[in-house]
Structure 1
Amino acid sequence: MVARTTAPAADGWEATLAAALIGADRAPPGPEDEAFADLGPAGDPAGSLLARLAAQGIHRLAGAGLAAEALTPVPPRDLPGPECPPAAAARLALLLAAGPSARSRLEEWCDLAAEAGIRAPAWLLPALAPYRSLWPRPIERIAGPEIAWLDRACAGGAAEPEPPAQDWTEGTPAVRRDAFAAFRERDPDGARAALEAAFRSEKAEMRQTLVDTLDVTLGEADAPFLEACLDDRASGVRAAAQRLLARLTRSPFAARMAARARTALAVETKRRLLGGTTHALTVTLPEEAPALARDGIEPRPYRQKAGGARAGLLQEILAQTPLHAFADHPPRLWIELALRGEWAAPILEGFLAAVRREDDPNWARALTAVLGEAHSGRLSGVRPTNELRDDWARAAALLPDAEWERLVEDLFRKAAVEVILAHLAHAPPAVSERFTLAQLDWLAAVTRGPAGMRDALGRTWLIDRFGERAWPGEDAAAQAAAILARLPGDADERLRRQCAGLADILDVRVAMRRDFTGPEGA
């Protein structure tokens, strides 16, 4: 008679492990006699799987000889909102698996989830956690409390999370920077006073970091301290102070720049014998000087081929000069006179930089209008060139987004392809639905137009960037697909690839939104 041996009853670990490997939604139900089959919330396979794994772990630790205090329970999870719909969760899993190639879409997914007030699924938190440093705000909103809970649980204890550092004088440079920025947010004057008291005892790299952090709530009251930093022995500290002082338009630094600009540029007004007045711009190129160097204005080697070192000094002075220094005459007069003179390039570059720094819409409009007239041949004494076309596009990019869109939409109807491409190269990071459809109409016309126009479009690679900036609507996605389907047979392969990429990007971006707002997410 053969003796029969009975195998010990399985504890369910193998079935639980299999479910974790193939996915809770796809795994078959466990055996009815499974010890932990009833754990977890009903109707939530992922939650049940996590509960079973936790119970299995405790079951296996039961004979390990651990003291009771070694098994400290972790507090319940703090859920920041409803979990995202299954379709959105599946999309997030694909984006995380794709790696760096899907970084833009992953960031967009996080932003969409944060705007919708929903959280990432629990089973994807470990894969999402490494991106906290890249996009701290959206990830904090969609997964922050749960990732913090997971960190504490994996650390083996239920300790409360450490509060943000309050003492900016201790810790790593990154910790100190963050603590000082928080201090600066709470008490701008107090933070600056504390920095002044301890500044000389800091190492050069830390001094630069802390000066840069004054950017938080920067104000005119910071000017005296930043002025003192111009004499710091570390070049990084001096450069940081110069960058911040240039943004304080009423500081002593700004006054020095204004005085230099008025010395370099002067408008001479003469009355005509028969009535009226004429204006001329007198330019006096600055000389290299220690006082200029202290404010960060020094000759650059590359300037030897771009108008000379002194022209470079003029450009940098104008770039740091507050625009109110030119209030004696309208912006348009300064720009017109500069374009007609010998030193048009450095003066124009200086004006562009100053307007960009101050974000002044009136100067931006004047620059755009005058340069547009000059490029079209409507400004007397100025010959149209390709450089003027590019300067016009850069000036237009300083306009408020809605004004830039209206300008380019008008160009879609009447301008040459090269002009439009120059402006599209400086498009804002995101454009409106109306502009998206207008640009798609223009792309459709160009891609079905003469080969020369198609080639010019394909060489710019603007179509690729447009996919990231465009408004992701159903109509836009359909129009992009139609552009690809209607490309002529002799279209360049480079253009064909770009059109295919545009259609794919818009299709994915529209589908992502559908994941959140479709029937499953309603």
Structure 2
Amino acid sequence: MEGIGQAADGWEAALATALLGADRAPTGLAGAPLEPWGEPGPASDPGATLLARLAGHGVRHLAGRALAPGLLVPAEPRPPAGPECPSAAAARLALLLSGGARDRLAEWCGLAAAAGVRAPPWLVPALAAHRADLAEAVGRIAGSELAWLDRACADNPAEAAEPVSGDWSEGSPSERRTAFLAVRADAPEAARAALEAAFRTEKAEIRQSLVAALEVGLSEADAPFLEICLDDRASGVRAAAQRLLSRLPRSLLASRMAARAQAALAITAKRRLFGGTTHALAVTLPEESPMLARDGVEPRAYERRGGGTGAGLLREILGAAPLHAFAEHPPRLWIELALRSEWSDPIIEGFLAAVRREGDADWARALATVLGEAHAGRLSGVRPTDPLREVWARAAGLLPAAEWERLVEAAFRGGEAETILAHLGHGPAAFSERFTAAHLDWLAAVTRGARADRDALARSWMIDRLAERAHPDAEAAASAAALLARLPDETPEDPDGRLRRQVARLAETLELRAAMRREFEPFTIAAENARA
């Protein structure tokens, strides 16, 4: 206590000297020397002496000596949230945090969470810097530790320890959204009812944020309120409501879109003279209207300028319509007739958007099958083109992952490089072990093949994408390294070595990802055994 009192007395004297001016202050006002430094600075330079004295007081304050004993509250013990990761994995995390490799850092967090281990305490403060861009990933392996650290470093630890309030009516927009999401996750209907009651009094920014938050626990019960939001004076609120209503196939908006789609597209049947039936697609282009705009259907600016308003509206309506609007006929018939229509582009694009939104596997299979036949020249009345190949690849990308991999594996065995590259631009974000091996085998064959195929491969940057999507085991890393070893540094057709640099990055990335998995292996095996 004596040392603290002396520090406080010395501070008051130094402050008075600073206010009066170092040259004008009475002799001795600055107080006794500060231990352990003694009198700082030469007596002939009172300004330097004062600055040194203030610096000494600052060091004392930072060390906690200027604080009253009652303010020195020890932090609460940190309860362990789980076993720490292996030392090799911790060292890897330290390297990733210092190197700024965001993708690898997110992957490390995912591996740690799958293994059921936590980040080491000495790296938790560094992970705090990534809570904004990798909130979910970091929260899974250091969430409770970071919460403890926040409380320990808060100005008022008692207030920081209080749980988040369920009252979302107060605070900043982000705090209110967070509180509302917590209520919504716990009681969806009660949260929506509370929002409805106070909705009209809120500012546009808050209304938009909270309507968008209804995505958590979204159900058909939310449709009436979202329907009201379509008339909101704020465009952001209207757009949020339109986006959510399009995911509710039984909403009033979905019913209106279904009726518009059925008015725009119809299949007519005509009996042949000698038996059988022929089908044709009747297309009626929609026109702009305030009701269409209210439901979020408007042509793009370039379509207005170029005269394609009707086609643009057709695409948007079909993309927003529920697929049950076309249940009168099989998906294959709709797609075949659409491809033979003069309006094939907007119709197929609309179907793709609807299938992507609803995730309907039957429609996805029909699209991939019919478009594949058309690209192969096996669909009468449809000419194979490069744009058709790209649409086929996009449709195949909507298939379940295993089905997409089987389709592309078949292309590996006999397809053109351009067709395979088109497919590899879509599909799942992570490949299976079997497909990774097949992909690397095809890659090796292409690097030994025709120059045109190697050029297409190097231009597409597909190798860099493979590094992120491949199954990164030791075999894949070894295959990539062997492929790199067979490539010359430079060739006449690749003087700058672009292809070799891409393969080098592939080998390096796969080796790094495989090493990361080996570092978690003991815990990963234990976690898998526990699940089994």
**TM > 0.5 between the two?**
yes
- What amino acid is aligned across from residue 71 of structure 1 in structure 2? L
Question: Which residue is 2:70 aligned to?
Answer: 69
Alignment pair present for 1:78 and 2:50: no
- What amino acid is aligned across from residue 197 of structure 2 in structure 1? A
TM superposition shift of 1:337:
0.3
The alpha-carbon distance between structure 1 residues 240 and 66, as it changes in their structure 2 partners (threshold 3 A), is: closer
Contact 2:476 2:510 in 1 (8 A): yes
TM superposition shift of 1:315:
0.5
Contact 1:231 1:238 in 2 (8 A): yes
Structure 2 SS opposite 1:383: coil
CA distance in 2, matches of 1:479, 1:367: 35
The alpha-carbon distance between structure 1 residues 446 and 148, as it changes in their structure 2 partners (threshold 3 A), is: same
- What amino acid is aligned across from residue 501 of structure 1 in structure 2? R
The alpha-carbon distance between structure 1 residues 155 and 297, as it changes in their structure 2 partners (threshold 3 A), is: closer
Spell out, residue by residue over 1:178-222, the C-alpha distance to the aligned partner (whole angstroms, 9 max, x if none).
111111111111111111111110111111111111111111111
Give TM-score scaled by structure 2 length.
0.83
CA distance in 2, matches of 1:242, 1:395: 24
Aligned length, in residue pairs? 462
CA distance in 1, matches of 2:226, 2:140: 36
Equivalent residues in 2 for 1:288-307 (5 A)? 288-304=288-304
TM superposition shift of 1:123:
1.6
Equivalent residues in 2 for 1:232-247 (5 A)? 232-247=232-247
The alpha-carbon distance between structure 1 residues 314 and 158, as it changes in their structure 2 partners (threshold 3 A), is: closer
TM superposition shift of 1:519:
11
Contact 1:515 1:521 in 2 (8 A): no
Question: Which residue is 1:415 aligned to?
Answer: 415
Contact 1:91 1:512 in 2 (8 A): yes
Contact 1:448 1:486 in 2 (8 A): no
Question: Which residue is 1:119 aligned to?
Answer: 118
TM superposition shift of 1:87:
1.2
Structure 2 SS opposite 1:133: coil
- What amino acid is aligned across from residue 147 of structure 2 in structure 1? A
CA distance in 2, matches of 1:65, 1:379: 85
Equivalent residues in 2 for 1:264-413 (5 A)? 264-304=264-304, 308-413=308-413
Spell out, residue by residue over 1:97-156, the C-alpha distance to the aligned partner (whole angstroms, 9 max, x if none).
112xx1101111111111111121222121111112333333233222222222333336
Structure 1 SS opposite 2:144: helix
CA distance in 1, matches of 2:339, 2:163: 57
Spell out, residue by residue over 1:252-309, the C-alpha distance to the aligned partner (whole angstroms, 9 max, x if none).
1111111111111110101111110000001010111111111111222222577711
CA distance in 2, matches of 1:210, 1:362: 35
Question: Which residue is 1:199 aligned to?
Answer: 199
TM superposition shift of 1:411:
0.6
The alpha-carbon distance between structure 1 residues 503 and 402, as it changes in their structure 2 partners (threshold 3 A), is: same
Alignment pair present for 1:108 and 2:116: no
The alpha-carbon distance between structure 1 residues 362 and 312, as it changes in their structure 2 partners (threshold 3 A), is: same
Question: Which residue is 1:459 aligned to?
Answer: 459
Structure 1 SS opposite 2:381: coil
TM superposition shift of 1:166:
0.7
RMSD, aligned α-carbons: 2.1
The alpha-carbon distance between structure 1 residues 305 and 508, as it changes in their structure 2 partners (threshold 3 A), is: farther
The alpha-carbon distance between structure 1 residues 486 and 241, as it changes in their structure 2 partners (threshold 3 A), is: same
Equivalent residues in 2 for 1:129-208 (5 A)? 129-155=128-154, 158-159=157-158, 161-208=161-208
CA distance in 1, matches of 2:226, 2:109: 38
CA distance in 2, matches of 1:126, 1:483: 41
TM superposition shift of 1:509:
0.4
Give TM-score scaled by structure 1 length.
0.85
CA distance in 2, matches of 1:487, 1:330: 50
Question: Which residue is 1:220 aligned to?
Answer: 220
Larger deviation, residues 234-243 vs 377-386: 234-243
CA distance in 1, matches of 2:313, 2:480: 47
Contact 2:114 2:524 in 1 (8 A): no
CA distance in 2, matches of 1:379, 1:520: 50
Bigger Cα Rg: 2
The alpha-carbon distance between structure 1 residues 521 and 222, as it changes in their structure 2 partners (threshold 3 A), is: closer
CA distance in 1, matches of 2:337, 2:63: 84
The alpha-carbon distance between structure 1 residues 397 and 65, as it changes in their structure 2 partners (threshold 3 A), is: closer
- What amino acid is aligned across from residue 199 of structure 1 in structure 2? F
- What amino acid is aligned across from residue 146 of structure 1 in structure 2? E
Larger deviation, residues 499-508 vs 154-163: 154-163
